[in-house]
Amino acid sequence: MTLDVSFDEMVLSLWRQIRPRCIRLIVLESGAQSGAYNMALDEQLLEWARSKPPDSQQTSGSPAILIVRTYQWEKPTLSLGVNQSDKELPALLKLYQPIQSGSDLEVVRRPTGGRAILHGEDVSFSFITNIPLVLKLSLAQSYTLLTDWVQQALAQCGLDAYSGITQNEREYLRSAICFETHTPSDLVERQSGMKVVGSAQLRREGGILQHGAAFLNPFGIQPCQFSQALFSTVQSVLAQQGLLLSDANSNGNDCEQWFEPVSLAQK
């Protein structure tokens, strides 16, 4: 219980720190795509957000951008962290290829960090933002802020999860597989102690991309259910903070409310 209380208090404190005038929220439900497509799209979205820096005073109609995307994988895909050694790949393929019953296993490298994940049974998600004060948060603080939305979405789906505990760094690096270990940026199901969400982040000047993978099948949660819970959670949190509502700025002009649901499933 102590972990949850301190986690909630930290999130509230972070919101007080980063509160901008308004945020342009874009949600994408991409459906099942290839691994190469998924990774390329997230990087392109990050570069697009970086190319549109918000007006620091938000007086010229240029709000900060937050993109929330959920997606799946059209075939079993092994993703490696950006800094993960190629030397680990043969052992990973030997471990996972037989599980696929002869089907081809796509291998991609994520632009974010972390360890290897076998995708196919998960629903993946990404947060992409150029909110200036979020960019100034520490790595741990930004993880806390974004992971809180995922935790709330899981609760909306009936799953009670909490932030993972810190493990020895050597122990974390010793494992080539993401879901064999956990960190405070991950989420663990309370009753079983099973890690259900793993996250990793990429930071570039003017933008952040955070990847996540949620394995929810054992708990009967469908991808569309999680996606809608995540989108509604983020929208609700921003609205409660007054960031999606018409907001008068210092010049007396109204700040436009942005909410853009987009589906790429048919593309």
Q: In this structure, is residue 14 part of a structural domain?
A: yes
* CATH number of the domain within which 225 lies: 3.30.930.10
Q: In this structure, is residue 85 part of a structural domain?
A: yes
- The number of distinct structural domains making up the chain is 1
Domain that holds residue 109: 2-18+29-244
Task: Give me 147's structure tokens.
Answer: 């992971």
Q: Is 157 a catalytic residue?
A: no
Q: In this structure, is residue 13 part of a structural domain?
A: yes
Name which of 120, 35, 116 is nearest 76 in CA terms: 120
Q: In this structure, is residue 267 part of a structural domain?
A: no
CA angle (67, 72, 78) in 5-degree steps: 110
pLDDT in tens, 132-174: 888 988 998 899 889 999 999 999 999 999 987 655 555 555 6
pLDDT in tens, 7-37: 556 555 655 555 556 788 899 999 999 999 9
Q: In this structure, is residue 183 part of a structural domain?
A: yes
Task: Give me 57's structure tokens.
Answer: 């005073």
DSSP letter assigned to residue 136: T
The active-site residue, picked from 157, 178, 224, 255, is 178
Three-state SS at 48: helix
Q: In this structure, is residue 266 part of a structural domain?
A: no
**Model-level pTM?**
0.81
